[in-house]
Amino acid sequence: MTVYPLILKLGPLTVTGYGLMMMLAFLVAGWAIQRELGRRNLNPEYAADVVVFAVIGGIAGAKLWYVALTGDPGALFSRGGLVWYGGFIGGVVAVMLNGWRKRVPLRLTMDLVAPALAVGYALGRVGCFVVEDDYGMPTSLPWGMRFPQGLPPTTAGNLGQLYHAVIPPNTPPWEVLAVHPTQLYEVAAMLFAFWILWRLRTHQHATGWLFGVYLVLAGVERFLVEFLRAKDDRFLGSFTIAQLASVVLAVAGVILMTSWSQRDEVTIPEGSGVLAGEPRAASRAPGSAP
């Protein structure tokens, strides 16, 4: 199957499928957080705060991580150059700082965002697919896909030179090869993770335990899919930097799940703007973290 990128021309404005899916990812993630706030009888407006700070911190972190990997400071001002792990760390830091500012217990926010992170990531990977980015290595499987306008195109020359893929002998370097649609593998895996996390929202463990589950699921998923992805950063033998980060995430998740296995509810201070009926208290001075 041959796939072409989704690009919309609206007069002088160019909108990519990636941009559309990222917007949808943040909207759906916000909806998931809002639903959970409503289930807990908390102020649903806190969902908007989380999404806004996640966007700001996520973009900044993704850019900075990319610059650190490539040494190209010019990427800070380009449309590309986004790395998920950098975006994850940047978004987490920004949301944590906002929660501290509003005196919202950190563990409450962690429980709230766990399912949202999974579904947001899945939709983001749809964006990668429609712009033909982050694909896998060559494959002869029937669902292999060709990306003639990919980033870069999946030609034999690109796959062999950039990613050290094993190319059949006598293959012309300009021939477009079928590759693993690893973006879609990740979409399916993280939608399944979202389903698991959504069902576990009413868990009987300590507040924040659900975030540990998310870290384990996300870490395992990314670790496995990296074996199939076309990557040029396999500095640890056959392992990538993303796999190293995945192991750290999964181990951190196991530690959180173990530490917070016993039921323990957090206390939400009055004036945080999260209790039902309270104003958002956006201008409240920072207090000590609960």
Tell me which residue range forms the domain holding 172: 137-179
Q: Are residues 60 and 151 in the same domain?
A: no
Judge whether 285 lies within some domain: no
What was the pLDDT predicted at 78? 57
Place of tokens 């463990």: 205
Q: Are residues 167 and 89 in the same domain?
A: no
Judge whether 145 lies within some domain: yes
Q: Are residues 67 and 118 in the same domain?
A: yes
Contacts of residue 100, defined as CB under 8 A and 6 or more positions apart, other chains included, come to: 106, 286, 289
Judge whether 161 lies within some domain: yes
Q: Are residues 30 and 86 in the same domain?
A: yes
pTM (predicted TM-score): 0.84
Q: Are residues 175 and 47 in the same domain?
A: no
Q: Which residues of 174-192 are buried (b: 16+ CB within 10 A; e: fewer)?
A: eebbbbbbbbbbbbebbee
Q: Are residues 47 and 149 in the same domain?
A: no
Q: Are residues 129 and 145 in the same domain?
A: no
Residue 249 structure tokens: 């995430």
Q: Are residues 166 and 199 in the same domain?
A: no
Contacts of residue 55, defined as CB under 8 A and 6 or more positions apart, other chains included, come to: 26, 91
Judge whether 4 lies within some domain: no
Judge whether 277 lies within some domain: no
Q: Is the pLDDT of residue 126 over 90?
A: yes
Q: What is the DSSP-derived secondary structure letter of residue 273?
A: S
Return the minimum-mean-pLDDT range out of 81-85, 153-157, 234-238, 260-264.
81-85
Q: Are residues 65 and 192 in the same domain?
A: yes
Q: Are residues 122 and 210 in the same domain?
A: yes
What was the pLDDT predicted at 92? 86
Percent of the chain topping pLDDT 70: 84
